């Protein structure tokens, strides 16, 4: 178990090391660099489309990483830096789509489907005929005993 | 009781709705990787680029009052070779005013590329840093933008231009923009 955990820890460490950020891109201020990395992880690389710009080795991802860092150095807030990229590439660059009327279906349909299923299940259970709960009378009990004895 | 019977068709209806949605994805020519531009109908980004072969620089001020097409290309880009006959034909017939922006390229490579495949551009700006391309929302060359007389982006095409794109998109666009 400990070995498995150790292996997992090493792999996780490697996964972090696999970020595509090059040392030359990093900001000297660790606080600013951390903010830049956090922003980069939220932004989609438009070349690979399933990686964040922080993970992607594509040229465009490199340029966008540098731009994010330039914006932060120039005093942008995180939201302003993100808006800079969204203004050019649209909401698609956000790996987590914003909650707005156009994405309500995306965000809330799982809950709607769950509610429909729950309503259906509730209706079904309520309509199922109740199991008979009167106790057996004397004749029925005798008949039952005879049947059980026959089986043996 | 009839409404309960109707309920049994719900899965079929749901399936048909889903199937119709998937059918859209199978339509010929549909590419889910192509993104719509967010800059449509917005003012084109300003830029001031050095000219290729130390010719006059290219800035967006050069476009004032004209309907122009801006094509992002690079010598290292294979699809750009593919679209070059289409661009050459457009420029030879003088259908559009075409300007080029050389994306992340060495000028000498670009010059060689144009010598080999022909130069369809009125003028070419060199975007070595790729910043101008990012301001346009370019995510891969070739991309082509149409800018109207008021300096707004009206159309964008991702990937190489084909005669089909010229017929079905560029010609109607020119008519819409009222090109003489």
* pLDDT value at B3 more than 60: yes
Closest CA to B75 of B116, B131, B133: B116
Do B145 and B81 contact (CB within 8 A), yes or no?
A: no
pLDDT number for residue A64: 95
Taking only the tens place, the pLDDT of each residue in B47-99 is 999 999 767 899 999 998 999 999 999 999 999 999 999 999 999 999 999 99
pLDDT average, residue stretch A135-143:
88
The answer to whether the CB of B172 falls within 8 A of the CB of B60 is no
Give yes or no for A112 touching B (CB within 8 A).
no
CATH number of the domain located at residue range(s) A2-97 in this protein: 1.10.8.640
Is A18's pLDDT higher than 80?
no
d(CA B60, CA A46): 25
Query: A11-20, B2-11, B109-118: lowest mean pLDDT where?
Result: A11-20
Sequential DSSP letters for B42-60:
SBPPP-EEEEGGG---EEG
pLDDT of residue B27: 83
> Are the C-beta atoms of B148 and B65 separated by less than 8 Å?
no
Please report which helix (H) or strand (E) contains residue B82, including its range: helix B78-92
The pLDDT score that the predictor gives to residue A52 is 94
Query: Residue B83, class by beta-carbon neighbours within 10 Å (0-12 exposed, 13-18 middle, 19+ buried)?
Result: buried
The pLDDT-based confidence of A135 (bands split at 50, 70, 90) is confident
* Confidence grade of residue A10 (pLDDT, cut at 50, 70, 90): low
pLDDT exceeds cutoff 70 at B179: no
Mind listing the pLDDT tens digit for each residue in A50-67?
Answer: 899 999 989 999 999 999
Query: Is the pLDDT higher at A130 or at A86?
Result: A86
* Mean pLDDT value across residues B145-152: 95
The Cα A65–Cα A113 span in angstroms is: 39
Across the interface, whether the CB atoms of A46 and B135 are under 8 A apart is answered no
Q: Does A47 touch chain B (CB under 8 A)?
A: yes
Per-residue pLDDT band for A13 (boundaries 50, 70, 90) equals low
Would you say residue A91 has pLDDT above 60?
yes
- CB-closest option in B33, B38, B134 to A63: B134
State residue A84 phi and psi, 5-degree precision. Answer: -55, -45
Cβ neighbours, 10 Å, residue B169: 16
Residue ranges per structural domain of chain A = 2-97, 99-129
User: Is residue A83 less than 8 Å (CB to CB) from chain B?
Assistant: no
Edge-to-edge strands, sheet with B68-73: B58-59, B48-51, B124-127, B97-103, B68-73, B143-147, B153-158
Summarize pLDDT for B101-145 with one digit per residue, the tens. 999 999 999 999 999 999 999 999 999 999 999 999 999 999 999
B117 in reach of chain A (CB within 8 A)? no
Q: Is the pLDDT of residue A26 over 60?
A: yes
- Mark out the alpha helices in chain A (DSSP H runs): 2-17, 30-42, 59-73, 78-89, 104-127, 138-151
Distance CA(B67)–CA(B152), nearest Å, equals: 10
CB–CB contact B35 A59 (8 Å): no
Quick: pLDDT tens for A27-40: 888 999 999 999 99
User: How many CB atoms lie under 10 A from the CB of residue B25?
Assistant: 9
- pLDDT number for residue B69: 96
Instruction: Give residue A129's pLDDT band: very low, low, confident or very high (50, 70, 90).
Output: confident
Q: Look at residue A126 and give its three-state secondary structure.
A: helix
ipTM: 0.83
CB B57 within 8 A of CB B51: yes
Res. A86: pLDDT tops 70? yes
Q: Does B137 touch chain A (CB under 8 A)?
A: yes
The secondary structure element, H or E, covering residue B174 is: helix B171-177
Q: Of B74, B67, B179, give the one whose Cα is nearest residue B124.
A: B74
Which residues are registered as beta bridge partners of B153?
B147
């Amino acid at each position: 178990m400990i070995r498995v955990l150790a292996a997992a820890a090493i792999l996780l460490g490697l996964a972090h090391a696999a970020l595509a950020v090059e040392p030359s891109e990093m900001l000297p201020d660790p606080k600013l660099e951390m903010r830049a990395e956090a922003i980069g992880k939220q932004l989609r690389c438009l070349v690979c489309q399933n990686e964040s710009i922080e993970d992607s080795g594509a040229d465009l991802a490199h340029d966008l990483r540098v731009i994010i860092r330039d914006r932060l150095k120039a005093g942008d807030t995180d939201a302003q830096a993100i808006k800079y990229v969204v203004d050019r590439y649209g909401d698609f660059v956000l790996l987590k789509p914003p909650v707005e009327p156009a994405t309500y279906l995306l965000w809330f349909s799982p809950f709607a489907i769950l509610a429909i299923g729950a309503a259906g299940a509730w209706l079904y259970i309520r309509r199922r005929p109740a199991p008979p709960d009167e106790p057996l009378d004397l004749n029925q009990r005798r008949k039952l005993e005879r049947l059980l004895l026959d089986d043996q | 009781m009839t409404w309960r019977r109707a309920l049994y068709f719900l899965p079929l209806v749901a399936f048909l709705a889903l199937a119709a949605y998937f059918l859209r994805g199978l339509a010929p020519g549909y590419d889910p990787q192509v993104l719509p531009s967010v800059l449509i109908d917005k003012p084109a980004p300003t830029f001031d680029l050095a000219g290729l072969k130390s010719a006059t620089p290219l800035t967006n001020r050069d476009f004032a009052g004209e309907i122009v097409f801006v094509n992002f290309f690079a010598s290292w880009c294979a699809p750009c070779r593919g679209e070059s006959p289409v661009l050459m034909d457009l420029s030879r017939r003088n259908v559009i005013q075409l300007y080029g922006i050389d994306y992340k390229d060495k000028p000498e490579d670009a010059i060689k590329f144009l010598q080999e495949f022909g130069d369809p551009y009125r003028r070419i700006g060199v975007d070595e840093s790729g910043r101008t391309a990012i301001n346009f929302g370019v995510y891969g060359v070739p991309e082509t933008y149409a800018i109207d007389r008021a300096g707004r982006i009206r159309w964008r095409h991702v990937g190489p231009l084909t005669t089909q794109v010229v017929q079905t998109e560029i010609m109607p666009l020119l008519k819409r923009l009222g090109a003489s």
